């Protein structure tokens, strides 16, 4: 058997020594050391494409700012600019291999970006990868920067970009519930409080409520996203701006706003901004709020579809897969269940973010990698969960109209709608009769001579039972003792 051809390498050196790097790799020695040190999650930072784009946008804006203020020559600045644009456009993401969880406050991620963008630029210039004497990852691509301003700024830009897709999916899910609200607008059902029968409502009202709560979350997420627009570029190591030109911070901000399309602003106190990660905690909290409310909706869908024979059985969820390896014909609500589990994970991620924010010390928070991973994962999972809930569940929900109608007809809760006409005492007595005899409430009211059939039918119409038409009238005094005592069925 022929032996495999030897792998071509190049030698790179850092302050700790030298290592062999695959000749065709765009990453370098700093990335290799990180991959050796942090083989924890087996998930590279490239699983979050918008984080990679955020990094490239920062490098591009910095190159333009350095060129503008004269701290980097035009030839090198333009090469870095062009290389960064290719990463923004989606190329070379497979070269970002450092793990999402890493020590060093994000230094490995920053160096991964510096090395990849530098070697892309070298290749574009017709030079060999690793020719750092001409174009250096640190001296040129990282000019006027530190991990401590690059990394949090890149995270904020990346989160802002990926949030857009979440908000789009959230709006589509809201619209799906609104569509069902229209479809079910005339379907009466029994409302429930504390899992006990309450007054009637329409199934459309219930689904409209789901849509409204998702709309509120859309507003909250949008509001909290604005907290991510404050950046600390120009702070360098701890916020003092050491090694930067006085014109760098305003220049890089201007270019970064143009590149990202975001309404970014430089923090007024760069020392505070470099050490504080409270914005991430607030944003994570709004994701948790959305997850919890979405999980509550899924709980309701599972309850409403329970059965189909021995449960509530009010609605039918689309059957997506066989539900049991032992019980033929069993179908489970797998889509709401998976969304529940995503919500649980988001809650856990929020707890992680909270602890990581609290764990920062003095002038820097070393735990931003786990903050970034937790929030990016929450957004990614939530977006996908919303998609599957909409496409594989909500769009195909149907109502069991006959069952719902029968339950409303026999429910004592409907008598609440008649209290303005027959009084509370009479209503309570008739409710007791209905429960004992299992008879229709409307029939009992007519038989008692309290209202005509026409009047009862009018007042128990879907519009009035659901509160869409508010009706009040003079209430006659009808004593409970004036009614026939209820007799239970034999």
Would you name the residues annotated as active-site residues?
A: 324
Which of 428, 376, 407, 25 has its CA nearest to residue 166? 376
Q: What is the CA angle 12-18-22, rounded to 5?
A: 45
According to DSSP, residue 95 is labeled: G
Please name the residue that has the structure tokens 């033929």.
328
* DSSP letter for each residue of 190-230: EEEETTEEEEEEEHHHHHHHHHHHHHHHHHHHHHHHGGGGE
189 has which bridge partners? 201
- Angle at which helices 49-69 and 147-183 cross, to 10°: 130
Cβ atoms of residues 156 and 173 within 8 Å: no
Q: How far is CA 202 from CA 22, 181, 336, 464, 465, in A?
A: 66, 9, 22, 10, 8
Give the span between the Cα atoms of 353 and 281, in whole angstroms.
Answer: 6
**What percentage of the chain's residues is helix, strand, coil (to nearest 5)?**
60, 10, 35
Residues 6+ positions from 481 with CB-CB distance below 8 Å: none
Give the span between the Cα atoms of 379 and 282, in whole angstroms.
Answer: 14
364 has which bridge partners? 361
Instruction: Report CA torsion sign: 435, 436, 438, 442.
Output: negative
Give the span between the Cα atoms of 445 and 440, in whole angstroms.
Answer: 9
* DSSP letter for each residue of 125-190: TT--TT-TTTS-TTTTTTTT--HHHHHHHHHHHHHHHHHHHHHHHHHHHHHHHHHHHHHTTT-EEE
Element of type H or E holding 19:
strand 17-22
């Amino acid at each position: 058997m022929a032996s495999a051809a030897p792998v071509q390498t190049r030698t790179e050196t850092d302050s700790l020594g030298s290592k062999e790097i695959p000749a065709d790799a765009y990453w370098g020695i700093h990335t290799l050391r990180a991959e050796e040190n942090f083989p924890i999650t087996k998930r590279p930072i490239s699983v979050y494409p918008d984080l990679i784009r955020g990094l490239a946008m920062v490098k591009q804006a910095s190159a333009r700012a350095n060129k503008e203020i004269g701290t980097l020559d035009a030839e090198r600045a333009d090469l870095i600019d062009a290389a960064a644009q290719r990463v923004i456009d989606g190329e070379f993401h497979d070269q970002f291999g450092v793990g999402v969880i890493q020590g060093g406050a994000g230094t490995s991620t920053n160096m991964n970006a510096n090395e990849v963008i530098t070697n892309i630029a070298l290749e574009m210039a017709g030079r060999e990868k690793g020719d750092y004497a001409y174009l250096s990852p640190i001296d040129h691509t990282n000019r006027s920067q530190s991990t401590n301003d690059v990394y949090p700024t890149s995270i904020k830009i990346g989160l802002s970009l990926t949030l857009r897709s979440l908000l789009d999916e959230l709006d589509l899910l809201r619209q799906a519930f609104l569509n069902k609200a229209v479809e079910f607008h005339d379907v009466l059902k029994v409302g429930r409080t504390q899992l006990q029968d309450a007054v009637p409502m329409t199934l459309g009202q219930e689904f409209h409520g789901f849509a409204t709560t998702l709309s509120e979350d859309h507003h909250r997420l949008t509001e909290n996203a604005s907290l991510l627009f404050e950046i600390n570029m120009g702070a360098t190591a701890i916020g003092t701006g050491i090694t930067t030109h006085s014109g760098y911070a305003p220049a890089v901000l201007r270019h970064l706003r143009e590149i990202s399309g975001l309404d970014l602003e430089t923090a007024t106190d760069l020392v505070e901004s470099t050490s504080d990660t409270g914005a991430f905690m607030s944003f994570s909290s709004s994701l948790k709020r959305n997850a919890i409310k979405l999980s509550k909706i899924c709980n309701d869908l599972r309850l409403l579809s329970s059965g189909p024979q021995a449960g509530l059985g009010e609605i039918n969820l689309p059957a997506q897969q066989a539900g049991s390896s032992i019980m033929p014909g069993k179908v489970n609500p797998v889509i709401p269940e998976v969304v529940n589990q995503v919500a649980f994970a988001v809650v856990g991620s929020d707890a992680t973010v909270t602890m990581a924010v609290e764990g920062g010390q003095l002038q820097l928070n070393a735990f931003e990698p786990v903050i970034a991973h937790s929030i990016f994962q929450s957004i990614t999972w939530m977006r996908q969960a919303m998609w599957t809930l909409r496409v594989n569940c909500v769009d195909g929900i149907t109502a069991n109209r006959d069952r719902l109608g029968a339950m409303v007809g026999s429910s004592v809760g409907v008598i609440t709608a008649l209290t303005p006409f027959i009084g509370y005492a009479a209503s309570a007595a008739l409710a007791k009769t209905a429960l004992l005899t299992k008879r229709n409430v409307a029939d009992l009211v007519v038989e008692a001579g309290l209202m005509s059939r026409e009047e009862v039918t009018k007042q128990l119409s879907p519009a009035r039972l659901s509160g869409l038409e508010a009706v009040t009238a003079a209430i006659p005094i009808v004593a409970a003792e004036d009614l026939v005592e209820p007799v239970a069925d034999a």
